[in-house]
Amino acid sequence: MNYTLYASSIDVHFGQKEFDMTIFSLVHFRRRCLFSALVCLFAVCASLKIPLGSHADVRGVGQNEYGQLGDGTQTNRLLPVRPTGLTDVIAISCGGHSSYALKSDGTVWAWGWNGFAQLGNNTTVNSSAPIQVIGLTNVIAIQGGGGHSLALKSDGTVWAWGTNDYGELGDGTAMLRKTPVQVSGLTSIVALAAGWNHSLALKSDGTVWTWGANNYGDLGDGTTTIRRTPVNTGLTSITAIAATITNSYAVKSDGTAWAWGQNYYGQLGDNTTTDRWRPVQVQGLTNVSTISCGSGYSHALKSDGTVWAWGYGGYGTLGLGITSDRHLPVQIPNLSGIIKIAGGYTSFFAFKSDGTLWACGSSGYGELGLGTVTSAYVPKRVYNAVSAIGATGGYNHTLFLTNPSSGTFGLEGIVPYAPSQPFTFLFHPTDNSGDIVRTADVPPVGDFVLPNVPANTYTVRIKGAKYLAKNVTLTTTGTVRNLTATLKAGDANDDNAADIGDLLLLISAYNKVSPNAGYREAADFNGDGTNDIADLLLLIGNYNQMGD
């Protein structure tokens, strides 16, 4: 029964002793439970958050073949991981197989696939860790495209780098650029969007300018001619823009939504499958605040917190519980109170006002953050990114922007499990300033929140009958480190003593798990694939080492 301890510069003692770690501000716990009627493996982790103004942490999940998760490996991840050495982030974006972060100092950092020099470091070598984009300062917004990247500076100018076959860099040439160049003729820009091979910019006067590939009318200028410098779409009073593979979208100040480009799946929402070279109004939508889009599908967030979907229905991208296409917007049922939406290639994310994150669509590499490779056809809660405040999707990976954390800690052991049974945590400050009790419903997999735990040093106990948990003292400082240790059996019956009663309880629970009843993992304590006497002996041995 091993667990990983994530903490910062900690003093750790195991066996009969305790370990120290400091808890800050907002505490998150993760539980993994291998289901059993009576017994399961129990794991609890706490991510500890320190408010740092507008700065945030980054987590990546999903495909990592090109290093696009930034954790220094090429290992795909079903659970979010932190990019190496990345701090003070205020914005994130994904390209196809690449990732981008904007720091509070106005610099841009990139990692992942670099075949078209889209990382902006004057090479075409992939990077599995964040590297700084050369020559960019005073940046306030970033956007990743299929093989090119965009940055908006505080002076309203736009800069681009990467592939330029279709003029997607807007510098009047077809030259690949390994470092950023200024997009021609654009000033007073306030927002950017990037498709696979085309780009959009929104001016402060409400007009929209486009450049790059135009095979399906992607640019909205009434032609299918490639544009190597920006052209005006003719739209006015625009407040938001979005782009995907071969489509573009805009929201007007009157709350209407407009779309243009390819329409094979009905992703323009005009009740046809006809490509549009000029913007057309998405039918049936009013009071729209923003649009997100992916490969052949779109979502609109209304001011009342509802979400509407249309276009390609494969993999559950629409969140309607179906795989058929929709040529007109349809409200996603049972999804309300939404304040923010985001899309990936075939994934969709919605943030609720209660702080929860919901996702649907393809999860072939785990890119939904649900801990599984199974697609979600209706929105499911993403417990593994409980602290997320933003999301952006690439081809098969996702980045989450999360509230900053000071570290995590984990406990793993054996506990009788009752579905939906709340867990109660007692935080006893070592300065005796007053106990804090927090109760939460623990999901079978993922994070849950215990809010408003003030900064201090605490003895923490998981309360409740028969929980296998000893008191642990928590104190943190310094840099996050990963440690692995073993938790020994302790006060399982919660009588404040580690004695024969606890061991008898555990033996009884073990005996009720049949080796042939489908619960093998729940009682396979030594991990050899069988439930046998060796598991029971290991349990007894661990108990005897723990003592009082």
pLDDT of 187 > 90? The answer is: yes
CB 361 within 8 A of CB 373: no
Question: Does residue 499 or residue 310 have the better pLDDT?
Answer: 310
SS3 state of residue 310: strand
Per-residue pLDDT tens for 263-319? 999 999 999 999 999 999 999 999 999 999 999 999 999 999 999 999 999 999 999
User: Which residue, chain included where needed, has tokens 């900064």?
Assistant: 455
Nearest to 135 by CA among 106, 174, 96, 172: 106
- Dist CA 345 CA 63 (whole Å): 12
The alpha helices in 140-248, defined as continuous H runs, are: none
Q: Is the pLDDT of residue 403 over 80?
A: no
pLDDT digits (tens, 9 = 90+) for 364-394: 999 999 888 999 999 998 866 656 788 999 9
How does pLDDT run across 93-121, given as a tens digit for each residue?
A: 999 999 999 999 999 999 999 999 999 99
The 3-state DSSP class for residue 384 equals helix
Residue whose structure tokens are 């007053």: 434
Dist. CA 321–CA 162, nearest whole Å: 38
Q: Which residue has the higher pLDDT, 433 or 94?
A: 94
What is the predicted pLDDT for the residue at 430?
75
Distances (CA, A) of 111 to 70, 98, 186, 245, 268: 6, 6, 27, 21, 32
| Whole-number pLDDT of residue 412 | 38
* Spatial distance between the Cα atoms of 133 and 120, rounded to a whole number of angstroms: 5
CB 168 within 8 A of CB 248: no
